Structure 1
């Protein structure tokens, strides 16, 4: 119960890796705020998370690239639970286009969701968290090794790694830690939507594919007091795939 009497805000919390993180934190006693754009499963998921052990489960409809939505989501945490202890930035999106076909709108949209949203939530965390708070950014091994057709996503995730390091540096004086996890191929709809996989240009062995729960356990560790002397770190959660590439 590492998160008993703590409030965690998870972006993209209603699906994929975000939901897995919410389930893990719930099982360890956290109060949860789930920030997500799609609300159709919010009630059922809230019931499930309470059954796992979450003290409180709240939902904030949020476009993470919208500054107003980000502030409103953080207000839910601080106003309704009275605290804000853990931020997990998971919300992300991909599009698949060659560089010569990418528009300015494509770049702005991808950077808005995958980078600017995390930056805005981090700003609010700095303004609201007490000493002992933790930020965990869910980045990607695309930070280090990428593939064709995903330039904006890879660029945003690389920048998220830099934001994590800056957050860790500026967080020291506030007693706030910041770390990142770099998932590899994780069994989510985003993975299987890849045209690189569908075309055979990129191949995956069964051993290369992890589960969202693998990432969630790493996130929970970095967010917990078990990692009090870890900040500014990036942890690969890829089953060793990056080591082979």
Structure 2
């Protein structure tokens, strides 16, 4: 798998987790032009032309600025990774509307705005990957807002795939299960597990052992590799697919 150094890619949520790992993977595969969007600055990439866009993906003004800046810097996009997201938990009966909107705003409104910008800036053939979640398919107590946002994002990817197919634009979604990323940090139940089991690693392994037939969660680098495949010419006939990468959790 390799990409041209002239390839221009947009990645949201690029400062950490899957977004950061994907930027690093694509850089290793030859990409040298990056538009990286996050509320924090993404780490530097050696010998790359990096356009840092700091802002909230759910704010339309972020994308007005981003579209102008990307067009000025690169002229167009070739690839995009719709990745930025936040976590959230709580039973429906206890979930505040403010919390519902916080999660839906970033995970769905942000996905829509990112996808809209990417489809405008990729003027011909290209590829987009939307990072959804297995929570968008498998129901579990306490994940109403997060699961609903990720289910909608996955369907949005399928609609975009149908709209983009006539010009050779492929759009797919990847649905990770548990992944070792900072998204767990700050979640009350996870912090309790870390305290009870003595380490972050032990808490992640306990959840993976209980939930997945393979008995492990993915690393951000593994998901990044799968995203890179979907963006590459090796996946030239794959579009509108929802790729489950969950260690068998959804079986």
TM-score by length of 2: 0.86
SS in 1 for 2:76: coil
Extract unaligned runs of 5+ from structure 1: none
**Cα shift readout 1:103-155 (whole Å, capped 9, x = no counterpart):** 22222221110011111121122222122211100010101113222211100
Aligned counterparts of 1:211 and 1:139: Cα–Cα separation in 2: 16
The answer (yes or no) to whether the contact 2:18–2:224 under 8 Å persists in 1 is: yes
Q: Which runs of 5 or more residues in structure 2 are unaligned?
A: 194-205
Distance 1:193 1:186 in 2: 15
Paired with 1:3 and 1:121, the residues of 2 have a C-alpha distance of 23
Judging changes above 3 Å, is the alpha-carbon distance between structure 1 residues 149 and 3 closer, same or farther for their aligned structure 2 residues? farther
Residue 218 (1) aligns with residue 226 (2): yes
Deviation at 1:198, TM superposition (A): 5.2
User: What corresponds to 1:16 in structure 2?
Assistant: 17
| Cα distance in 1, alignment partners of residues 148 and 224 from structure 2 | 23
Match of 1:139 among 132, 149, 152: 132
2:144 is matched with which residue?
A: 151
Conserved? CA contact 1:167–1:178, under 8 Å? yes
Residue in 2 that maps onto 1:50: 46
Whether the 8 Å CA contact 1:17–1:216 is kept in 2: the answer is: yes
How much is the aligned-residue C-alpha RMSD, in angstroms? 2.0
- Note the 1:226-237 alignment, pairs <5 A: 226-237=234-245
TM-score, normalized by length of structure 1? 0.88
2-structure distance, mates of 1:189, 1:124: 26
Map of 2:208 onto structure 1: 204
For residues 208-227 of structure 1, the C-alpha deviation after alignment (integer angstroms, 9 at most, x for no partner) is 21100111001111111211
Distance 1:176 1:8 in 2: 14
